[in-house]
Each structure stands twice: as structure tokens, then as C-alpha cells.
Structure 1
């Protein structure tokens, strides 16, 4: 039987690897490393660095493959994502089949944690034949962001909501919460909100050498975040960021 291990590797700092993650990496017969194009070569480089640092099993093979591109701007967002997941699953299957003969242990190193705003679990269930799926949890960008700001996420006895930039931009401030965590924001959705009474804690490249964090009253710090984000994206060719908004009544 084929076993697929989805291993959370944290947000960019190899020191965030758990012992369970190191054990799972070394238990694999094959490690898959996706390439996302030259603009995001840092992401593949980190996976290579992790393997070089912790992989001691001399029989483990590493196979790299080009990840299919998901084009933004599809008229039907959900269908676009669904089609992309099919393409990624096909790329996984083809790479695995070229390296293993129907059985063995395959590992994918997942940025952050496989359970939170990551598609790997959904994609894994599209493989045919369906492998046994193991998950090794990792540190999420939410944890890394709170740590970078020394910030408790929830207020005492109060809930918080985790959402996306697209949902925040389209739906505005969610009902019933005063704390919102925003991930997968392709732009700066906080600009669509009335900034009155809002504070923001923002971070980009969390856990990586280029980590950048900023915080303050949204009306004051928001324009500086927009400028810093644009500058960083131009320098790196990509950006991975998240932020927390709190409404102070």
C-alpha cells in the first residue's frame, strides 16, 4: 500500500520542525518537492535545506516536480480551484508513479500546517489509488504571527474568526467577533474597511530571514503596510503575509 505523509514544516524557520516531523521525513522512501517557478524558488530552497539538515536515511529519494499554475480571475472561483486541485493531484500521481512501483512511503513537506488554509489534504484524497494518509502537524502562520508580535490572539472569553482576504473584501467585517485573522490575501483587503477603532498586527515572510512585522492603529499604519508590502513583493517577486485585526470598542 502507498502511504502519503503530509508533514507540517512551520513557516520558514527550520527550527520550527517537531521531532515527529523529523522522524516522518526519515521514514519516507520518497520526498516530493514542488517547484512554483523562479519567483517562488525560496519555497523549494527551504524544503531542500530541511532535507539536507535532517535527512539521515540514505535510501530516501527526493523528486522535484513543477506545480501546475492556478490562474487568478476565473469567473467561477470554486470551479477554478477544483480544476487546479485535479491538476495538482495528477502531478503528484505522475511523480510518484515514476519513482515507486505501487507501494512505499511518500512525504510532502507542507508549509505551515496541512489543516489550515492548505489544500494538500483535499488533493491527497483525489489520488487514485487512494493512499493511506498520515498528517504530522506543524506551526501555522497564525502562531508565528502572534509570536512575532507577542500577542494573545483571543481576548478573554471572546471568539475570533479566521478568514481570507477575498471574503473580508466581499463581505466586510464579520458579525459577532471583534478579532479577525486574515490569510491568503492577494492584496490588502483591510483597505476596504472603515478603519475607525481598528488595530492591525501584520507580518510577511514569517519565520524566514526577511521576516517583516508592523503593527498599530489601522488608520495610521495601514498606508505604511501597503507600501512595505508592495516594496517587498517587487524585491522578492512574491509575498506570503497574514494579519490580525482587532476592533477596540
Structure 2
């Protein structure tokens, strides 16, 4: 009976499976494991013909190897599915980047379409003040977040309420701070990116606070997005008015 080939040894197959996060070594490992089993099966038949070995023990070993092969097959299918899911995610992200690049291109050549198109900077200023007052009102009436009021701390409902209110304040403050940074940085070439930044912050904070049962409300998010675009268009209108005033002064001097 010939000795087993080195690449069919269990130590080498185990080494391949150690790199199972890579698809190719995993598949090679499966193939070699099957070949190892086939060769072992041939050896068992040879031993039985020679009157060596316990048939029942060999059968148990065969079944164990078959179970191992089936388990590795299931793992392989799971990895293949993960790769397919990741590929789909990459395609979606690439498509989102393409859309964003197109929007930025339109903005960079002067094709930004105003959402409000108000006549004067004072109108924008009034709308901004109104939007911010609406945000404050939502916070005041506890509608800036969706949250549970059933918390207990040390068996005390009042302590649970205090803890919950502190968590809500922390969440709103974190969201407001990030929104303010985006609004202060908004300009002609990044208005869509700043909106994405606000929405990403919204999703991140909601995910972090899932176990606290705290979620920033959709109306509060919408008001922040409105504030972003109003602030951008307000700054644009102020610049337009300044330019118009300079043009009038130049005409008067002539």
C-alpha cells in the first residue's frame, strides 16, 4: 500500500482551512479533504481484505469524515453568500457615488436649483428663525425623539425618568452639534454632501441608542435638513445683494 501524498495529509488541509476567509484556499481544502477521505476509504478496504482493523470502527470514522465534509460544504455556501452580498453592497455604493458626482458636477457649473427661491435675505432670515423655533418647540414638548417613558433605575421610576431624560439630552445635543458643523461648512460644492452627513449622523445615533429605546424623530430630522438648505440659500442671497449694491454704487459713481 502506497504512503499518502503529502498534500493529502491532515496538517496541510488544516492549514488551508486556516485561510478559509479566502475563498480559493477554502475550496482547495474541501477538494483535498474529499480526496483524503477517498484515499482513506481505499486504505480501509485494503486493511479489511488483509484482515486488519475493526470494520465498525472504520465505519464510524467514515461517517465522521462525511459529517466534516458536509459541515465544510455548509460553511463554503455561507461564505459564497457573504461574498455575493458584499458585491451587491459595493455596486449600490458605487451607484450612489455616481449619482453624487453628477449632482456635484451640476452644482459646480451653476446648476444648483434653489429649494425656496425667496426674494430677499430678510425672508430667508425670517424662515430660518421660524425653523429653529420649531426645533426648539419639538424639544420642549418631547417630540424631538421617539423614546420610552417606562424606565426604572434601582426600582425607582423617578430615577429611571431622570436617567432617560439625560440620555435624550445627550442624543439631541450630539445631533445638534453635528448638524451645526455641517450647516456652518455648507457651500456651493458640498451642499448634498452636508445633507448626507446629517442623515448619516441621524442613523448612527439611532443605532447607538437602540438599546436605550431613543430615536431622533423624523420631523426633527426634516427641520434640520430644511435649516441646512435655508442657511445655504440665505448666504447665497446675502452675497447676491452685496454684489447688487456694489453694482449700483459703481453706476452712481459713473
Same fold (TM over 0.5): no
Q: Which has the larger radius of gyration?
A: 2
Looking at both structures, which has the greater relative contact order when contacts are Cα pairs under 8 Å and sequence separation is at least 6? Answer: 1
TM-score, with length taken from structure 2: 0.26
TM-score, with length taken from structure 1: 0.26
Q: Which has the higher strand share?
A: 1
Q: Which has the higher helix share?
A: 2
